[in-house]
Amino acid sequence: ACIKDPAILQLVCEIAQRAANDGGRQHSVAFSFYSAIVSEVLLEAKTPQRPKVARVLTPFLIRGVNSTSGGFQAASRLLLAHLSDRSSLDTQAVSLLLSSIVDSCSPDKDNPRGLSRRLMTVLSLCHSQAVKNLPAALVRNLTEFSGLSESLQILSEKYDILPLLSPVIGALCEMKGGLTVEDHAKVANDLLRLPTAERLISTFLPILIIQTQSTPNPPPFLGILFQTCNDFHPMATTQTLETLRRSVNENPGIPEKNPGIGEGSLGLDRVGLGRALGILAKGTRHEILGDLENLKKISGDLLTLSTASEHRDPEIRRKAAEALALKGDIEAISACLSREENPKVAFALVKAFRVCLGDSTESRVCLGDSMESHKVGGGVIMALIGVIERRKKGSRWRKWIKVRKKAAEAICVALTEMSGDSGDHPEIDSLIPTVLPYVNFHPKASKGSLACLKAAAKAPHPLLQAAGSSLKLAKKAANPSLST
């Protein structure tokens, strides 16, 4: 009868709603009756009848999930999950339902377990209705829930949360405003740290790049999302970027537009991809290396800094070393130096260390954050020692002399920098005996190494002062042509 006559179904829903509004009394029988009748209707309704049933039920379900009556709210959530599983709802109805559910989550915004139970209805709706986009206002409401990350983690232990995570991140990619940079960073951290998010990288990273390419002034959050992807899922990020890069470069006959990058690519072109990555990658190792036109002449590839530092062409790796020096990425330089077998590239990497450590006033990179950590400083020195040790013998040892001398100079500078303004650094005490033989490994000192030793002699650290003074005199005696 309810299926044939929607007025009867509406009456059943109104009875439950009136019972919910009568806050002073318990109406469990009315809510059970409402739940049982509507469930039966949803089970019995044939495909052609379902849209009509959905139109009658939707307003009551919206009020139900927002109701202060626990019984009416619980019954409405159950029926909503049942309805969305059985019927295809129109976009507006889905949007209204989702907004109502998220609004109703506010009482549990600081309670991860309570919030996870409420978000289960959102997940069910997103899954059954294949939701691709979420309203910006709804996403902004979600970001205000302090328990969001933990509640999603709880849900992910039992369910596949990808149908919910995907439209939320997609909405964040397209959001033009409404959140501060700090809020964006927090949301990106909360969502992308989930293991499930790794499966989304290959889908939404191209969308992120397209958004950046097509927007005159891309919002800062696009870059924050990109960096957060790289922090939590570096392998997936690099693989996706490489897929995009190859897809662009494998179509040399289409210099302007390339429609072959996945579904809905909107036509990424070489220059557009380069511009987008350059904007997104500020502060990450995926920054575009050098000038695109010059790179095309060298290799024909569109390279990111991380891939360029491992490129088969030594000239590309040398350019990567120069770019790393300008970024002051000491740890990345150490990693590249430890595997480099080409003396010219190794020399460029050691020179990059000198730039980072203040080789000249113009090119000096602020060292505060990197070299405050003596662990990083020690890593730099051990990488330089590795260079000196690497080519003492063999057919190519002569080609490495220049590199080894430059490494010795860089060691002196590193020790001087690490000593700072105070002599109380026991970790430097332990490093100096290890380092001294390498600083003095060759009797023919260069003017550069003598200058470094003079600087070391003036350092605040007493042991470094003594080492610098004695070695300076020894080198001067070995090569009198050098002036003090």
Residue 237 lies in a domain: yes
What's the pLDDT band for 294 if we cut at 50, 70, 90? very low
Residue 359 sits in the same domain as residue 413: yes
Residue 381 lies in a domain: yes
Mean pLDDT, to the nearest integer, of 269-275?
60
- For residue 59, which of 79, 74, 43 has the smallest C-alpha distance? 79
Residue 268 sits in the same domain as residue 209: yes
Residue 100 lies in a domain: no
Q: What percent of the chain shows pLDDT beyond 90?
A: 0
Sequence length of the chain is 484
Residue 407 lies in a domain: yes
Q: Cα dist. 265→164, 216, 434 in Å?
A: 22, 18, 55
Residue 283 sits in the same domain as residue 333: no
As for how many domains the chain has, the answer is: 2
Residue 473 sits in the same domain as residue 396: yes
Q: What is the mean pLDDT of the chain?
A: 68
pLDDT tens per residue across span 311-325:
667 777 787 777 777
Give me the domain span that covers residue 424: 328-478
Residue 148 lies in a domain: no
The span from the CA of 364 to the CA of 370, in Å, is 13
Residue 294 sits in the same domain as residue 340: no
Residue 137 lies in a domain: no
Residue 337 sits in the same domain as residue 442: yes
Q: How many helices (H) and strands (E) does the chain have?
A: 25, 0
Residue 412 sits in the same domain as residue 270: no
Q: Where is average pLDDT lowest: 66-75, 347-356, 367-376, 414-423?
A: 367-376
Residue 289 sits in the same domain as residue 243: yes
Residue 406 sits in the same domain as residue 287: no
Strand boundaries in 87-205, DSSP class E? none
What does the block give as tokens for 237? 């990020």
- For residue 343, which of 368, 314, 364 has the smallest C-alpha distance? 314
The span from the CA of 234 to the CA of 92, in Å, is 37
pLDDT tens per residue across span 336-391:
887 788 888 888 888 888 777 664 433 333 333 344 445 556 667 777 777 777 65
The span from the CA of 441 to the CA of 433, in Å, is 13
CA 297, chain centre distance (Å): 31
Residue 343 sits in the same domain as residue 455: yes
Residue 237 sits in the same domain as residue 299: yes
Residue 391 sits in the same domain as residue 461: yes
Domain boundary (280, 308, 336) is at 308
